[in-house]
Structure 1
Amino acid sequence: MTVRRIGAAATLGAFGVLASALVAPAASPPAHAEVRQCTENQTRFVADAPPALGRLAARQSWSLATGRGVVVAIVDSGVSAANVHFPRGSVLAGRSFVGGAATVDENGHGTALAGIIAAREIGEKSGVVGIAKDALILPVKISGGENGGDEERQRSANLAKGIAYAVSAGADVINLSLSTTSNRGDVRAAVASAVKAGIVVVASGGNRDQAAEVRDGIRYPAALPGVIGVAATSSADVVTDDSIHGPQVDVSAPGDNVITTFRAWGDCVFSQQQQSTSYATAYVSGAVALLRQRFPKASPAEIAYRLETTASRGSRTVRDDVSGWGVVQPYEAMTAVLDESVAGPVPPGGKPRATPPPQASAVDLTPPPDPRAPDRAAVQWLLLGAAASVLGLAMARMLRRSPPA
């Protein structure tokens, strides 16, 4: 797992009052995004498969794992179990901290994430299917609810409780498609408890168009120890400026042109102009579900190491604050044979790779020898000789012409 550089905690006022203390979703809910074929109370389907599945080699990965038996908790706005992509038993009852059932989603954000992770195939009329298509979804509803209310305040107040519930309910993976500049103690403790229990926690690295603080920098809970922080990429697999850049970014995944589930009404296509770390985080959570099935005894750090080491990137030895270690490649993560000789992040329990310190040494300022110096010297002597001969002849002529005394 990447060694994180944790900055000082943001100063908090009253619980959830300051903008820096509020947990913002990493993307707008479907009702606010630029979408097509998304209308409440009208069930529609998109025949095209989500482009991200091809870029992440999902079908190749399914020859090794499909997420079967893995429980992915989505701590968000609930998940609409009424969507046809979620047959009975695929979405667990979960728990709501804001009233109503966790299997009802008034917002739509949580349902979109659930579709990315574990939507079931329903035939030719729809190409939507989750990257971990047989995983189980555990909805943990921390915002929205029957009475609506201030969703940012709800998320801030309920995030730690939602994570703690996911741990107690037996989640294998916890998806947190949200971010904040605040390093809250209760959230920090809840995440530490999840990681200690062997749960892989995946969180958004931050989405600029949804952030109270739009400048690049550290975001939580992605920056907490043991959490995989995620940035979103465009269709060209390049992290967009809309993703917050910072030390919390470990890996990247597709976040635009997303085709996924829309509340209770079939499918929805999110515009290419709505890049989102929310969706990228869900794709990484789905990839983690595949690895969890493939390596059921692996620790969260070992699973994170597999994803980071095998991610697609320009330099095998260097991460950066934009894309982390690169775009995740689930199939490679499941098949790679890894040891300390593999370039990239340090393996769990491995020793940090030392960078040799610069050695001070005297600098030789002696100019290098001129290979043509002998030729130049010879030419100079010839020129001097010729000049002397000409001068001698001129003087002799002058003497001959002078009259005798």
Structure 2
Amino acid sequence: MSVALELEAVRNDGLSLVQIAQNLQLTRWMNAVAISLLIYDTSLIFGDEVQLFWPKRWSVIKLFYYLNRALCAVFTLINAQQFISSRTMSDRFCTYSLIGVGYATFLSFAMCNWMLLARTRALLGHSRPTFNTLLVIYFFLSYAITGVLVAITSHEFRTKIFFSPTMHICSSSIHPKTMGFIWVPPMLFEATIFVVTTIKLYDKTRHSRGFGTYLFSILFRDGVCYYVSILLFRTWNLVAWNMRPISFTFTGVFILWVIMSIACSRLQLNLLRAANYQSETCGTGGVISGGASNTRSRDVPIFGRRASGSRWLQRPRNPRLTLDDASEKKQSILNTVFQQSVSAVRSLGKRTKPQDVEITVLTEVVLQRDDLGVNARRYS
């Protein structure tokens, strides 16, 4: 049966055996690049994961983070056997591995985009509940369409996947038309999220006369890098599939999966690292509770200003001061000046703005809250 499917694949591919061998060799090399990137990035960010992510309580975001990395690593290494091993694989192994890759990539991409949606919704806050709801509906609609396309494509592939004894690689003898549309709904969703995030960040920085905070610059930088890299590799897969040669189809699947997993992981870690950096330099790392009974917490001097925006904490003067009172007041002033000097040195000239507190709340919502619809309290 493998010989018959191999002859059918050569006939449907429309290329010579030399060209088919070159395309399959390119697929091998791209898979090797994907595995190398995965191992290298895992070794780089493992320390940051232990320091920044492990202490966080379990949530949907944390579960998706680890599940996404596990799916990518397991299925990429399993499929690497056909690329690096000289052993003969069974047709059953090829069928289960390739169809498993299809469903695993679908779940992995959905989890990455859910985490991306969580960041965007937390950034929007509770000011636009209708728009937030529409984004969630759009997410489920786009991935419902993608899931249907994946199921149809897998059903068509089911009896046409085989192991080629000539090329020593798993392949398919057909070219399902539905697979070309699998990349379109996620691309449109990611483009929408990127535009919404960019507009929101631009609106905040325009009101703050600049990038506002270090965290906002991290959000913008990572968003651009994530969108551009994923767009390039999705376009590659879309073009590769529409070029029609079956042997060229899987050249970009694994590299896209690994790049998306790496980018998604770094989005979360960079946000946590930036939040910790701002907490250390600004002293506003926690979620500040509001309310009338907590007015004193808003009067804590930060870099020579109160969090409410007025200069220095002012106290009513007492016309009758004893020597003890004067000494105590002098000591209090010296302590305040010393604390402000230390804070100024640590800040390296940076000033805290109201958005710093707001974006810290954003970080907590994205990385610790299970419910993405939670209303983040704003302090701008």
TM-score normalized with structure 1 length: 0.24
Q: If you compute each CA radius of gyration, which structure gives the higher value, 1 or 2?
A: 1
The alignment's TM-score, normalised by the length of structure 2, stands at: 0.25
Please identify which structure carries the higher helix content: 2
Greater fraction of residues in strand: 1
